[in-house]
Amino acid sequence: MVVLRDLLPPIADVEVIAPNFNGRWSGVTSTIVQLVPLLARRLGIVSLGPGLPDHIPRARWGVLPALVRRPRHRPFRIWHARRNNEMLLGIILRDLVRAPVKLVFTSAAQREHKPLTQWMLRRMDEVVTPSARSGSFLQVPYTIVRHGIDPERFYPRRTEDDRFAAAGLPGQRAVGCFGRIRTQKGTDLFVRAMIDLLPDHPAWTAVICGRATREHVGFLDALKAQVEEAGLSDRIMFLGEVPDIALWYRRVDLYVAPSRVEGFGLTPLEAMASGTAVVASDAGAHAEAIDEGVTGSVVPSGDGAALTSAIRRYLDDEALCDLHGRAGPQRVDNRYPLSAEADGLVEVYEKLWAGDR
């Protein structure tokens, strides 16, 4: 079994630190989990923080004092933050502790940044964004590096366990909605659509994977009450957090991303890479990722009627659902390979080390 000490390079050889200061699984966590092992083949990189699987090279908190020394083969380390608290600690390390680090921040948000965030962004040595739309909200120079998907983790059905029947749930086909359960993610729009559609589509079951944080538990309870009132508790299933979300992308036949607000939004790409048709709102970069009428359909964010109509089309026409699902992996392979994201980040890092910022 691979253990942490087998993966962690000596601190003198660590060139990049990718902090992960949120123990709950999120899109940011997914990005780190996919990228760090790939980047580790090319440079000395570790993550730092909770909530990461054992195969990710990561340092313990006790490594922080050692950052005052330069790495063996570089003039400084790169601290690549993706959350505001990670960005703040990087500023403290560089400007107060005077550690030899340069700061990179990935900003996927598609909203006006608050004054504190803007202040921190101005102090970054490089800002990266996954799309031009996210970049349009920045008031600093930025480099676009598209997110990518790992084909070793997200791939079409291969075994019987990848089929919905293996889950032991009712129904012959499944439509899924994954992620944190909250208003921002549009989980209520999905539930409402399922309440409207499933009575006329007895072969289909709805699967919701993800958890509600403490402040959103009431929202989740209200959704469950709606489902129970509609008499659909055995067809709209709340599974909570599942051990392997990649498996569930393969098990569902249609994936729905109904977000009202999104940064980039990886889940449609993960579904497409898994051979699953997608219906998504136009939040984040969903509209860039999905080929309308080829791999799925895009609807205006927050429009419950449009979402329901788009889902109905696939539930009515299972052959179309399968056709669009089969088109997804090639689309992702062509435009969103994880290797291209790694190449883009290495280029950003090398320019910093070369003094070409």
Q: Are residues 105 and 166 in the same domain?
A: no
Q: Are residues 164 and 130 in the same domain?
A: no
Closest CA to 148 of 270, 232, 8: 270
The reported pLDDT for the residue numbered 268 is 95
Convert the pLDDT of each residue in 178-211 to its tens digit: 999 999 999 999 999 999 999 999 999 999 999 9
Residue 144 lies in a domain: yes
**To the nearest 5 percent, what fractions of the chain are helix, strand and coil?**
45, 15, 40
The reported pLDDT for the residue numbered 8 is 64
Q: How many domains is the chain built from?
A: 2
Under the banding of pLDDT at 50, 70 and 90, the label for residue 26 is confident
| Cα–Cα distance list, 192 to 14, 51, 187, 258 (Å) | 49, 32, 9, 11
Residue 154 lies in a domain: no
Q: pLDDT above 90 covers what percent of the chain?
A: 80
Q: What is the CATH number of the domain that holds 326?
A: 3.40.50.2000
Residue 302 lies in a domain: yes
- Average pLDDT of the chain to the nearest whole number: 93
Tell me how far apart the terminal alpha carbons of the chain are, to the nearest angstrom.
41
The reported pLDDT for the residue numbered 5 is 43
Residue 155 lies in a domain: no
> pTM value?
0.83
Structural domain that includes position 180: 160-335
DSSP-H helix ranges across 44-91? 84-91
Q: Are residues 184 and 329 in the same domain?
A: yes
Q: Are residues 95 and 242 in the same domain?
A: no
Q: Are residues 181 and 53 in the same domain?
A: no
Convert the pLDDT of each residue in 124-144 to its tens digit: 999 999 988 889 899 999 999
Q: Are residues 139 and 251 in the same domain?
A: no
Q: Counting beta carbons within 10 angstroms of the beta carbon of residue 13, is it exposed (0 to 12), middle (13 to 18) or buried (19 or more)?
A: middle
